[in-house]
Chains A and B, each alone.
Chain A
Amino acid sequence: KQEVTQIPAALSVPEGENLVLNCSFTDSAIYNLQWFRQDPGKGLTSLLLIQSSQREQTSGRLNASLDKSSGRSTLYIAASQPGDSATYLCACSGAGSYQLTFGKGTKLSVIP
């Protein structure tokens, strides 16, 4: 059974800093890995999707990497802004199943 872990559970940084969020998964047989953002009381906003054959994806100030062999993904946020404050979740879908398995998320606070 796939298990997804996100470390740290919470992170506080000053505005302007670059930061990295970590995600690890136990079963490397995945179709893809998605990073989401969740604001309080809201649903999930898809940020980036990395297919199993890809190593990274970029969107604006966000860059996500995937290393299937080691079961790790990172989300890099450049020049953080207070509006980046949210909970960031990673999730992967495994071979033979379209369902997403989620980590518990990292709660990010960017201090002005």
Chain B
Amino acid sequence: GAGVSQTPSNKVTEKGKYVELRCDPISGHTALYWYRQSLGQGPEFLIYFQGTGAADDSGLPNDRFFAVRPEGSVSTLKIQRTERGDSAVYLCASSLARRGLPFSNQPQHFGDGTRLSIL
């Protein structure tokens, strides 16, 4: 597709369950980012991938959160033992930023997000 695709668009689950959120970046984009947006707030950074590797995971709130990108394209954000405080919109973005390209002029393009509700 032309844009960043995220599935599912909505996810409702019970506290304590495990969830997986998927992100399909724009074709050819090597950089992929996950953000989390709570109601009335701006998105907050979670993790950044360059290719297959997590280049910066400093935003992950705790060890219940984990993300992978095994083939350098699709990424999955995984949350274990979900808590009510994990309820938010999880946004994925991608960009062309990579070594050898000027980073400063590479915008991040966002998907529509997954709205996660923990009951």
> Across the interface, which residues of B come within 8 angstroms of A4, CB to CB?
42
**Interchain CB contact under 8 A, A98 and B43:** no
In chain A, positions 34-49 with a C-beta closer than 8 Å to chain B are 34, 36, 41-46, 49
With A43-B111, A103-B42, A104-B40 known as contacts, the answer to whether A98 contacts B104 (CB < 8 A) is no
**Interchain CB contact under 8 A, B45 and A99:** yes
**Interchain CB contact under 8 A, A104 and B42:** yes
> Across the interface, which residues of A come within 8 angstroms of B112, CB to CB?
41-43
Q: How long is the Cα–Cα vector from A58 to B93 in the complex, in angstroms?
A: 23
Contact among A44, A45, A49 for B43, CB-based, below 8 A? A44
**Interchain CB contact under 8 A, B104 and A99:** no
Q: How long is the Cα–Cα vector from A7 to B22 in the complex, in angstroms?
A: 34
- 1/0 contact trace for A82-93 toward B, CB 8 Å? 000000010101
**Interchain CB contact under 8 A, A102 and B42:** yes
Q: How long is the Cα–Cα vector from A36 to B42 in the complex, in angstroms?
A: 11
With A43-B112, A97-B56, A98-B56 known as contacts, the answer to whether A34 contacts B107 (CB < 8 A) is yes
In chain A, positions 1-27 with a C-beta closer than 8 Å to chain B are 4
With A31-B104, A49-B105, A51-B105 known as contacts, the answer to whether A101 contacts B91 (CB < 8 A) is no
**Interchain CB contact under 8 A, A31 and B91:** no
Is B41 an interface residue, CB under 8 A from the partner?
Answer: yes
Quick one: closest B residue to A4, CB to CB? Answer: B42
With A99-B59, A104-B40 known as contacts, the answer to whether A46 contacts B107 (CB < 8 A) is yes
